[in-house]
Amino acid sequence: MTMMKNKFFFFAAVIFFLLDRYFKIIALQKISTPSGGDFFIIPQFFKFTFFANKAGAFSLPLNNIFIIITSAVIIFFLIIFARRALLASYWLFLSGLLLVIGGALSNLFDRVAYQFVIDYFHFWPMSYFNLADVMIGVGIIILCWQKFNQRPCSDCVVKK
């Protein structure tokens, strides 16, 4: 993989991370205040709002310290895998990992700073979520797709 592709995927992951942080700031500072308010993006179906999510993934009632420690350990290992994918030029695997890492870091930041994750999208009647959750989900889909559709790659050479 060329260095240009590496930079593109890293840049894209950083942009999504920053966009998620921006949306979280808007939700926290504007919508969560008494003078603020949520608004529908698609009437009666898709709303931008504020929700302080104190539960774990899939609304599992887990201890916040447990979530923080587990998330940090998982992110650490994902970064090791991302480094190996970068060295081996596995661009699809790397892009999936970068999305998962970016989303996980954004949600981990919330857990440490606020003791909850800021969710701001609400599809009725489903649960609340944020762009970081979407990044994690899409990243996992990419990783699974890449794993089950893996083909030998002529330019995937481990650099030393």
E strands, the chain, are 39-42, 46-53, 117-123, 128-129
Choosing from 20, 110, 133, 155, which is the catalytic residue?
Answer: 133
Strand bridging mode 39-42 / 117-123: unpaired
DSSP states of 115-151: SSEEEEEEETTS-EE-HHHHHHHHHHHHHHHHHHT--
Choosing from 20, 38, 119, 155, which is the catalytic residue?
Answer: 119
How many whole angstroms separate alpha carbon 37 and alpha carbon 49? 7
- Please tell me whether residue 159 adopts helix, strand or coil conformation: coil
Please, are residues 128 and 49 in contact by the beta-carbon 8 Å criterion? yes
Residue type, 51: F
20 belongs to the catalytic site: no
Close Cβ partners of 47 (under 8 Å, ≥ 6 residues apart): 38, 39, 40, 41, 121, 122, 124
133 belongs to the catalytic site: yes
Catalytic residue IDs: 119, 133
